[in-house]
């Protein structure tokens, strides 16, 4: 391993041998430590390089997505306006000469174009919320819910609605995005209780497995749990458009926002016995 060089032969005393052995061992320990450090440094720099590359790829993908939705925003609406606009023009200019059936067909074209416009808007909103950078801060969930309820109040005047709000502890998260979550969940609750007299909506928070779990419960039309896995998909709907209007993007937005906060969202429901939507915000909730 290591030879001690001596020009003239001599007898090594045991304590000298011990000293030499210790020096050798220390040398080896140092060499091994240095080698390990070098390897670690190399691994680290490789890792950093990989992180950099991955970040660049992600940024590129994000830019592409942004360019895509920009183009969708600009270009996809124009043909729809053409369809709607010229259907209206025919109705206005030649409506009286058309049979009833013909006028109805034109209105159907118009409606289709407008519907697609709504779908595009919602999809763009979904994409926007997905790529928006989270601005995390302490969020007063009770204030947020009160604001949402105020915003949703006017169109519901002629209905009999009871809203019960329980204690809502604050959390860490992005206030604007979380407001969207409440808005979508509560407006859904109001929508799917349209036929209930009275409609009862409960909003609260409960500790499940030591995690603050916020919920919105309603006594509305509910849904069959066997389709629950479809709930949060984009454009997925469990109700017919003629019964309950909507594009099927609301819950997809809810899920995306909750996931971005490191949380989970799920629902429990049964047909005609209401639904409850629960969400957590990952490890970031605090009581």
Residues that bind another protein (CB under 8 A): 69-70, 73-75, 77-82, 84-89, 110, 113-114, 116-117, 121, 124
Closest separation in Å from C-beta 82 to another protein: 4
Closest separation in Å from C-beta 70 to another protein: 6
Residues whose CB is less than 8 angstroms from the CB of residue 83 and which lie 6 or more positions away in sequence, other chains included: 109, 110, 112, 113
What is d(CA 22, CA 169) in angstroms, rounded to the nearest whole number? 63
Closest separation in Å from C-beta 128 to another protein: 8
The pair of three-digit structure tokens given for residue 20, joined into one six-digit string: 């030499």
Sign of CA dihedral 21, 22, 27, 33: positive
Residue nearer to another protein on the CB measure, 69 or 212: 69
Closest separation in Å from C-beta 163 to another protein: 31
Is 140 in contact with 170 (CB distance < 8 Å)? Answer: yes
Residue nearer to another protein on the CB measure, 69 or 180: 69
Closest separation in Å from C-beta 85 to another protein: 4
Residue nearer to another protein on the CB measure, 1 or 78: 78
The pair of three-digit structure tokens given for residue 247, joined into one six-digit string: 């594009």
Residue nearer to another protein on the CB measure, 245 or 272: 245
What is d(CA 229, CA 214) in angstroms, rounded to the nearest whole number? 20
Residue nearer to another protein on the CB measure, 110 or 193: 110
Closest separation in Å from C-beta 98 to another protein: 17
Closest separation in Å from C-beta 129 to another protein: 12
The pair of three-digit structure tokens given for residue 187, joined into one six-digit string: 């407006």
Is 202 in contact with 214 (CB distance < 8 Å)? Answer: no
Answer left, alpha or beta for residue 262, where phi above 0 means left and psi between -120 and 50 means alpha: left
Residue nearer to another protein on the CB measure, 189 or 253: 253
DSSP state of 285: B
What is d(CA 39, CA 34) in angstroms, rounded to the nearest whole number? 9
Residue nearer to another protein on the CB measure, 77 or 259: 77
Residues whose CB is less than 8 angstroms from the CB of residue 277 and which lie 6 or more positions away in sequence, other chains included: 185, 188, 215, 216, 217, 254, 265, 266, 267
What is d(CA 248, CA 235) in angstroms, rounded to the nearest whole number? 4
């Amino acid at each position: 391993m290591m030879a001690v060089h001596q020009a003239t032969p001599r007898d090594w005393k045991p304590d000298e041998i011990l000293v030499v052995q210790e020096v050798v061992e220390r040398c080896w320990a140092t060499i091994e430590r240095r080698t390990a450090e070098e390897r670690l440094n190399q691994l680290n720099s490789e890792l950093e390089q990989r992180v950099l590359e991955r970040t660049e790829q992600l940024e590129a993908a994000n830019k592409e997505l942004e360019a895509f939705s920009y183009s969708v925003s600009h270009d996809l609406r124009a043909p729809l306006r053409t369809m709607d606009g010229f259907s209206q023009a025919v109705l206005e200019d030649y409506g009286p000469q058309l049979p009833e059936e013909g006028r109805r067909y034109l209105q159907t074209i118009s409606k289709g174009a407008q519907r697609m416009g709504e779908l595009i808007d919602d999809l763009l909103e979904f994409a926007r919320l997905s790529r928006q950078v989270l601005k995390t801060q302490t969020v007063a969930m009770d204030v947020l819910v009160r604001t949402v309820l105020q915003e949703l109040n006017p169109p519901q005047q002629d209905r009999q609605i009871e809203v019960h709000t329980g204690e809502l502890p604050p959390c860490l998260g992005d206030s604007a995005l979380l407001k969207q979550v409440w808005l979508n969940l509560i407006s859904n609750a109001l929508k799917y209780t349209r036929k209930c007299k009275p409609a009862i909506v409960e909003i609260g928070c409960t500790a499940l497995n030591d995690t603050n779990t916020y919920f919105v419960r309603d006594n509305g039309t509910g849904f069959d749990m066997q389709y629950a896995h479809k709930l949060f998909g984009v454009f997925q709907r469990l109700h017919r458009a003629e019964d309950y209007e909507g594009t099927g993007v609301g819950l997809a937005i809810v899920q995306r926002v909750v996931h971005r906060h490191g949380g989970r969202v799920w629902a429990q429901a049964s047909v005609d016995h209401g639904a409850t939507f629960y969400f957590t915000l990952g490890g970031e909730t605090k009581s």
